[in-house]
Structure 1
Amino acid sequence: MRAVITDHPGAPSVLRPVTLPDPAPGSGQVRVSVEVAAITFVETLARAGSTVVPPATFPAVLGNGVGGTVDRIGPGVDRDWLGARVVTTTGGTGGYAELALARATDLHRVPGRLGLPDATALLADGRTAVGLHEAARVRESETVIVTAAAGGVGGVLVQLATAAGARVVALAGSDTKLAHARDLGAEVTVNYRDPAWARGIREAAPRGVDVAFDGIGGDTTTGLAELLRPGGRLVRHGAAGGRWGTLDEAAIAERGITVIGLQALGAADLFALTERALELAAEGALQATIGQTFPLAEAASAHAAIESRTTIGKTLLLP
């Protein structure tokens, strides 16, 4: 099979196409003939050797989310899965390939009304956004900040908060991305590359904001915390800026701010969250944003595009 491998951490150029033996599913596993492979921002950090995420084991075929058709099953797997159109996690690696192994218990049947690329785009980002939205308990008439609002997770958060009746303030880094956030339902848009971005939010929400979804980290975290009104919620789910932000814990406690992290998803049923995201999309209540696609062999170019901060929504590989 064709795949993309990296032998060591480094720039996107360390990703190279190779031919590997076809994998065979073991007990409780299936093999998926991959039609779509998702790229996450976390994978670009792992490839680069960033300390923000758990280190990868090299050599590695990256990729934790794929969509395709089950073409082989291992011992103990129901034969009804053969030929099924599915999206699934791969256990952390192996997705940048024509064939990928997955546990049968991780498979999601793709609703008939939903395209395979859309379902794959929502596999990780959809469940993350749905879980974070629920953990934040966004309510009608609240003011909500969504950072990286034109990204995969951010775009879904904008839609979920808007559907809940909240007023959404979207942060993004270009006019094109801000326009996309408005299309998804954001009422106010602010370019975070403007040094005065916090002032722009204060002008739009002089009484403060109720919830801030922080996918950027770094100094942005401090700025977002200062914009929250007493009793607000700060949801920290990413460090796209290259490092996690720091907080004045005493000041946070004094103002009654609740800090919610990704560990909130650990207490949730990730499988059920994924099912919910797929069903919302099939019903037309949630829209996946597929900003760009690349052939499998051009995975290095896909990673470079993501790191350039020019991409919108989800980036997919097409084996």
Structure 2
Amino acid sequence: MRAAVVTEFGGPDVIKTQDRPDPVPVAGQVLVEVLVADVIFVETAIRKGQQSKFFDVKPPYVPGGSLGGRVRAVGADVPGEWIGKTVVGRAIGFGAHAELALTTADLVEVPTELDIATAVAVFGDGFTALMLEELAPPMQGKEVLITASAGGMGLLLTQLAHQAGAHVIAAARGQGKLDLSRAQRADVVIDYGRSGWEKLVLEATNNHGADIVFEGAGGELGATAFTVVRDGGWFSAHGAPSGGFAAYDATEAQRRGITVKGIADLRADTTTTTVTGAEVIRRAVAGDLVPVIDQVYDLDHVADAHTALENRTLRGKALIRVSR
């Protein structure tokens, strides 16, 4: 099979298209012929070797987590009825950016109401967005700040907050991303490329501060976002595209009664949420989650997708079209 391979830790140029042996499913595994795969920002950090604390992976490896495709074969203990079905799921230990990938049997059949690209685009980010929705307090009537609002997940969170009846403040960089956030029904849009943007957040909340902050930017932007959470508020530090998760003073959070959720609360092996892949797809069919797909790259241009993510040029999702 052909696959995109991270040959060593480094820049996007370390990703090479290579021929690899076809994987064979063992007990509990499913072999999927990949049609479309997701690509998200954290994969660029993993490629650089920066996320070893959270992801145990070493080169050479095939990147890519969420995928959609046709089931080609199943291992023992997996019902044969899966063969031939079009599904979405997660590759085992990455591996989605390849013509063939192994998954667990925790798959969701793609309903006729969704095309495969939409299903893949919503599956990964939608899973995390629904986890955050479940973890956060009720949003109706609340001031909700969403940073990195024009990213794949930020747009979904904007949709969910609007549907919940929140007053939505979306923060991103540049007019194009602000316009996209507004199109997803944000009530206020703020360019955090401007100095003192946090003052605009306070003005938008009548100087009370945000009740809930979905912080997807990380770094200094995330640290600044923490300063505008009202006492007794709620803050998620789930994004790190700025180089690290939002830094905050745990003592101050405790003193001010702020609940903070981090990446461990969103990992499949540590989360306390009850979100399932089937629920993500059901909410997509219902129109609650509508992904915005900006760019689709082929298997030979996974490096270009990484570059676009790192350069912040995407407005919405990037996908990898593996085969047709």
User: TM-score range, shorter-chain basis?
Assistant: over 0.9
Q: Which residue of 2 aligns with 1:29?
A: 29
| CA deviation vs aligned residue, 1:195-232 (integer Å, no higher than 9, x gap) | 12111112211221101111122222332222111110
CA deviation map 1:222-258 (0-9, x unaligned): 3222211111001110111102332222222221111
Superposition pairs of residues 1-319 of structure 1, within 5 angstroms = 1-51=1-51, 53-54=54-55, 56-104=57-105, 106-205=106-205, 206-265=207-266, 266-268=270-272, 272-319=275-322
Assess if the C-alpha contact under 8 Å between 1:214 and 1:237 holds in 2. Answer: yes
Which structure: greater helix fraction? 1
* Unaligned residue ranges in structure 1 (runs of 5+): none
How far apart are residue 192 of structure 1 and its match? 1.0
Aligned-partner residue type, residue 174 of structure 2: S
8 A contact 2:6–2:14 mirrored in 1: yes
1:130-152, CA deviations, whole angstroms, 9 ceiling, x for partnerless residues?
Answer: 10111012321100000111111
SS of 2:227's equivalent in the other structure is: helix
Deviation beyond 4 Å, 4+ runs, structure 1: none
Tell me, yes or no, if the aligned pair for 2:7 and 2:59 is still in contact at 8 Å.
Answer: yes
Residue 158 of structure 1 aligns to a residue whose secondary structure is helix
Closer/same/farther in 2, CA of residues 269 and 74 from structure 1, 3 Å limit: farther
Q: Mean alpha-carbon deviation: is it higher for 139-148 or for 245-254?
A: 245-254
With over 3 angstroms needed to count, the CA separation of the structure-2 counterparts of 1:239 and 1:85, relative to structure 1, is same
The 2-side partners of 1:6 and 1:95 are apart by 12
Per-residue deviation at 1:55? Answer: 5.1
Are the aligned partners of 1:138 and 1:166 in contact in 2 as well (CA < 8 Å)? Answer: no
The count of corresponding residues between Structure 1 and Structure 2 is 317
Shift of 1:23: 1.6
d(CA) in 1 for partners of 2:55, 2:29: 25
Q: Is the 8 A contact 1:25 1:74 kept in 2?
A: yes
Q: Under a length normalisation based on structure 2, what TM-score does the superposition of the two structures give?
A: 0.94
Q: Distance in 2 between matches of 1:222 and 1:23?
A: 43
TM-score, length-normalised on structure 1? Answer: 0.95
Contact 1:130 1:273 in 2 (8 A): no
1:179/1:304 CA distance change after superposition, 3 Å: same
Of 279-288 and 142-151, deviating more is 279-288
> Which one-letter code corresponds to 2:199 in the other structure?
R
> C-alpha deviations, 1:134-174, integer Å up to 9, x for none?
10123211000001111111111111111100011001112
Indicate the RMSD between aligned Cα atoms, in angstroms: 1.5
| Identical positions, percent | 38
2:283 aligned partner, one-letter code? L
Structure 2 residue runs without a partner (length 5+) = none
Give the secondary structure class of the aligned counterpart of 1:150: coil
Whether the 8 Å contact between 1:42 and 1:53 is mirrored in structure 2 is: no
